[in-house]
Amino acid sequence: MPKKNPSTAAQRARQRQAATGEKYTTALRAETRPAVQRPAVRHRPFSAGGAGWAPIIRRAARELDEVWPDHPTPAWEEKFGDLCWKGTPWSQGPEVWAVVNQATREASSTCQTCPSPGRKRVVWPWDSEYGWVMPWVKTCCDTCAYVPPQLRDDQAYLELVERYEERG
């Protein structure tokens, strides 16, 4: 039985790197196929940007102003589809936590990209240099979620789907 071809650029690059001994980045560039179609929505790993989460972040900022007038500007980021404040000041009191937790809770059911209701979905961020780099968990509506057809059987993708989509 023929061995299944690796389906992501990263997998192909690792295989190519093992075969040729060249640098990973060189192999990855060589294995990235420019012909794949780009999705309308570009998901960026760790980015909390997007029209869906923006109002949640703005409201959290206003509420923080009230409970903690000199608060530092929160470094919001996305992690496994959740909105979080990177480097949250743990020493703050419960009223600050209430604001942060409320924002995280709202974001967990709001598409990050548009203001539609959303849920955890596994998507593929697109990189103009590397192509479809890796599957990534985002909070997404059905419209903003996009999985390239050729990557629907990808093992890493399926594992994330099982963990984050099917146990929701």
| 152 CB-side CA count, 13 A | 6
Asked if 107 is part of the footprint of Zn ion (rule: CB under 5 A), the reply reads no
Closest approach, Cβ 40 to Zn ion, in A, equals 11
Asked if 113 is part of the footprint of Zn ion (rule: CB under 5 A), the reply reads yes
Residue 91 corresponds to which tokens in the numbers above? 């020493």
For 4, residues 6+ apart whose C-beta sits below 8 A from its C-beta are: none
Asked if 83 is part of the footprint of Zn ion (rule: CB under 5 A), the reply reads no
Asked if 60 is part of the footprint of Zn ion (rule: CB under 5 A), the reply reads no
Helix (H, G, I), strand (E, B) or coil at 130: coil
Asked if 112 is part of the footprint of Zn ion (rule: CB under 5 A), the reply reads no
Binding mask 131-160 for Zn ion (x = CB under 5 A): ----------x--x----------------
Helix (H, G, I), strand (E, B) or coil at 134: coil
Output 32 or 113, the one with its CB closest to Zn ion: 113
Cα–Cα dist 86/96, whole Å: 14
Residues that bind Zn ion (CB under 5 A): 111, 113-114, 116, 141, 144
